[in-house]
Chain A
Amino acid sequence: MELNPLLITNARLLGGESASLLVVDGRIAALDPSETPEGTETIDAKGQWLAPGIIDLGVFATDKPAFHFGGITRAALMPDSGPLDNSGLVERAAKAGKPDLWVHPLAAATKGLAGKELAEIGLMKQAGARAVATGRARIADAGVMRRVLAYAAALGLTVIAHAEDEGLTAGAVATDGEMATRLGLASAPAIAEAMAIARDLMLAEETGAALHFRQLTTARGIALIRDAKARGIAVTCGITPAHLFLSDTAIGDFRTFARLSPPLRSEDDRHACLAAVADGTIDILASGHDPRGPEDKRLPFAEAAPGMAGAETLLAMGLQLVRDGHVTPARLFDLLAANPAKLLGLDAGRLEVGLEADLILIDEGTPWQVDAKKMAAYAGNTPFDGMPVQGRATMLWKGGQRIR
Chain B
Amino acid sequence: MTSATIRPASDYPPGGDAFRHRHLTGIAQLTPWEISYVLDAAEEWVEMNRSGAAKHDDRLAGLTIINAFFENSTRTLLSFEIAGKRLGADVVNMHAAQSSVKKGETLIDSAMTLNAMRADAIVIRHASSGAVQLIADKVDCPVLNAGDGRHEHPTQALLDALTIRRRKGKVEGLTVAICGDVLHSRVARSNILALTLLGNEVRVVAPPTLIPPAIERMHILPFTDMDEGLKDADVVMMLRLQNERMDGAYLPSPREYHALYGLTPQRLELAKPDALVMHPGPMNRGVEIDSSVADDPTRSTITEQVEMGVAVRMACLDILTRRKRGVPGWN
Contact = CB atoms under 8 A, between A and B. Distances in A.
Interface in B96-125: 103-105, 107-108
A301 B130 contact: yes
Interface residues of B, number: 26
A182 B189 CA distance: 7
A178 B108 contact: no
Contacts of A253: 133
Contacts of A181: 189, 212-215, 217-218
Contact of B130 (A176, A177, A254, A295): A254
Contacts of A302: 128-130, 149
Given A183-B151, A254-B134, A299 B214 contact: no
A298 B108 contact: yes
A295 B108 CA distance: 10
A401 interface: no
A295 B129 contact: no
A39 interface: no
Nearest to B153: A184
B93 to A, nearest CB: 21
Contacts of B129: 183-185, 254, 300-302
A295 B131 CA distance: 15
A254 B126 CA distance: 15
Interface in B121-177: 126, 128-131, 133-134, 148-152
A189 interface: yes
B86 interface: no
Given A181-B213, A254-B134, A300 B128 contact: yes
A300 B214 contact: no
A294 interface: yes
Contact of A303 (B128, B151, B213): B128
Nearest to A188: B213
Contacts of A282: none
Contacts of B103: 299, 303
Nearest to B213: A176
Given A183-B130, A299-B105, 9 more contacts: A181-B217, A183-B129, A184-B150, A294-B105, A295-B105, A298-B134, A300-B126, A303-B103, A303-B104
Given A301-B129, A302-B149, A178 B214 contact: yes
Contacts of A294: 105
A295 B105 CA distance: 6
Given A299-B107, A301-B129, A187 B28 contact: no
Residue in A176, A185, A295 whose Cβ sees the most chain B Cβ within 10 Å: A185
A251 to B, nearest CB: 10
Contact of B128 (A176, A298, A301): A301
A23 interface: no
Nearest to B130: A254
B186 interface: yes
A370 interface: no
B126 A184 contact: no
User: 4 shortest A-B CB distances, which residue pairs?
Assistant: A254-B130, A300-B128, A184-B151, A184-B150
Given A184-B129, A300-B126, A300-B128, A178 B218 contact: yes
A180 interface: yes
Nearest to A293: B105
Interface of A: 176-178, 180-187, 189, 253-254, 294-295, 298-303
Contacts of B214: 176-178, 180-181
A301 B104 CA distance: 10
6 contacts: A176-B213, A177-B214, A184-B129, A184-B186, A184-B189, A301-B128
B149 A184 contact: yes
A359 to B, nearest CB: 42
A264 to B, nearest CB: 15
A186 B171 CA distance: 31
Nearest to B186: A184
A294 B212 CA distance: 30
A252 to B, nearest CB: 10
Given A184-B186, A253-B133, A300 B149 contact: yes
A401 B136 CA distance: 50
B130 to A, nearest CB: 3
Contacts of A299: 103-105, 107, 134
B185 to A, nearest CB: 9
Contacts of B150: 184-186
A329 B213 CA distance: 40
Contacts of B108: 298
A181 B210 CA distance: 12
Contacts of A298: 105, 108, 134
Contacts of A182: 28, 189, 218
B107 A300 contact: yes
B104 A295 contact: yes
Contacts of A254: 129-130, 133-134
B22 to A, nearest CB: 15
B163 to A, nearest CB: 23
A185 B183 CA distance: 10
B280 to A, nearest CB: 16
A300 B213 contact: no
A181 B108 CA distance: 25
Contacts of A184: 129, 148-152, 186, 189
A153 to B, nearest CB: 38
Interface string B197-222: 00000000000000011110110000
Nearest to A187: B213
A183 B103 CA distance: 20
Q: Which of B28, B104, B130, B151 has the largest number of chain A CB atoms within 10 A? A: B130
- Considering residues B28, B105, B126, B212, which has the most beta carbons from chain A within 10 angstroms of its beta carbon? B212
Nearest to B138: A298
A86 B103 CA distance: 33
A225 to B, nearest CB: 25
